[in-house]
Structure 1
Amino acid sequence: MTEQAHSTQGSYVTAGEEFSRDTTYITTRITADGRDGFPVEAGRYRLVAARACPWANRVVIVRRLLGLEDALSLGLCGPVHDARSWTFDLDPGARDPVLGIERLQEAYFRRFPGYPRGITVPAIVDVPSGAVVTNDYAQMTLDLELEWTAFHREGAPELYPEALRDEIDAVNARVFRDVNNGVYRCGFAGSQRAYDRAYARLFDALDWLSERLAEQRYLVGDTITEADVRLFTTLARFDAVYHGHFKCNREKLSEMPVLWAYARDLFTTPGFGDTIDVAQIKEHYYVVHEDINPTQIVPAGPDLASWLLPHFREELGGRPFGDGTPPPPPPESERVPPDHSPLPPP
């Protein structure tokens, strides 16, 4: 983190209230038949993400696993933002080199002038018009899996198999409510009662997941699916951020044997850990959430080397990519800096 003042001028906690996430997103879809006016086309769209954001991280993982790098370009915002928008401060001149904009807000306003909701990542932008198409992250990954099949790499895994969709959807619903969003409900609670309720639901769900994963390698079936992607991005941030910053402190992930081994198994699977930038994750949460961390001091720990300890999950069987193959290493331009990750360079 650079030694300069950064103010979000935003508030994430409402005194006396539970945290309630605004889940109204731009639901336009990019589909093979183009029924919403945006057909799947290689090179037409740009995925705008941020390494820090768990919701964006999901889409980056799925894009990697399916091999869509050449069909769907990736723009990365920096780890901090202000009350207005995510910004492209990592790029030369602080502008996205493809869209030519400094703030993601510009793409939202190009389609919806004065857009009144949050300027969120991930977002997919139509490059010719410069206008946002969608920020509906939950549907976004499903569409990459089901609508973009013409551009999947050879050996791409089936992340949302038809026979398992009902079970995947059921698992995802609880994981979203009590884990993905549950950590935020703890961290942004505006009262002791709201926090206590969120804390209990979070750890009840983590105990349920531990029991589920004690005898099976992956959440649904014997291969990696959409369900594993959605859980992983929260687990990857747990000890570095949620345990302390969000007060999710019954125990660390590294003190939950089953979930810790499961998370390490995925972390060392190509397409997962190679998308995780721990330095950006910590900078985002500890700097942006000023009402939780007014000093904006970013903690030095935890030690990341333990992510590479043997996990022994292969003893449970399972085939990570099913009948497919692992993705190749990420393009050089998309690699996480070596000092931000415990993984060895590709």
Structure 2
Amino acid sequence: MANDFITSFAAEDHGTYAERFHRDLIEAVTRRKGRTVSAAMCRGGQGDTNRPLVADAKVFVALCSQVYYDDQGCGADWAVFEHRLHLVPPQFRPSDPPARVLVRWQSAKPPSGVPLAPVLSGEITDSYASKGIYGIICQEGLSQAYWDAVDEIAAAVCAGQECSPPEVSVGELPALTLPFPRGAGDARACRPSPAAQPAVPRPRKPADDAERPRVFISYAHEEDGDVHKGKVAALAERLREEGIDVSLDTSAHRKGPQHWARWMHKHYKEADFVLVMVSPAYKRRAEHEEKPGKGDGVAYEADLILSERMAVRRWYERILLGSFPEHGKAYVPFFLDGVTLYTLYRDLPDLIDFIKSKSS
């Protein structure tokens, strides 16, 4: 059975973000169609795996970026769908085929002869046109601009399904010219790539799966009207959406009164990873330079971290540092200085991939 659409993306792209977008696009198309939607992901370079999917999918969704245009596998997938488009008689063939939906993933100039991913209409036009979907997620998270873009792209996918090109048999495909990467040459044919490619990140696990990686978030309540606290809570929810079990004090508060020292010690010890979200108040309290009686929870957690840092040689593989853009390296406690600092949301795919890889 042919897929309603496939999502083509580069092998070097962050699979976590592509997977999230693909999943959200399925949900958006499902809402519009009012029925279950079948879809698949096609990572560049998968060759034998991708070709049958591209050969009969109703719509081809391409996550356009510089790395996409530099990926020979993506060029091969594009060539197969282009071949199908040209099976439509010229008099019935639109110059901009609706069944090929081009997504501005990151800003990039396409190779000669390859169309530019269109901008979207409405209030998100400037943001989407300049940043692309990947840029919106990195800089704004899953903002309204992101959801508006997903909905517009879902509408394009639904329209494209009404104009799907003829399906083809993989065995009947001729040698096809690659439209990219740049400099591929007219004589280069579309062949499956034998090289090993990075694996697509593991799918999300259900909430009751005991094998999910566990993360304890250590952070400070800044005196900013709960802005920082809200951003940490949103980050926790984002990690949960990726199949990561997160321990956070705000979640525990909703369950009723807690013995907080016991709660912190328990969740700290049971976590696979401790994510320290640095900020001005966190640095003061972790270094015991805060006013007496204020921020004792951070001081307690910092003491646990410092003890582990002194006792465990590769402590930095469990104690991870995160920061929102407005804070940064200046607010890393002195005893945690010198290790990787993940700036969110820009580095969120790297953080998620590391957590998942170490917990597999």
Note whether the superposition's TM-score is higher than 0.5. no
Query: Which fold has the larger relative contact order, with Cα–Cα distance below 8 Å and residues 6 or more apart in sequence?
Result: 1
Q: Under TM normalisation by the shorter chain, which class is it?
A: under 0.3
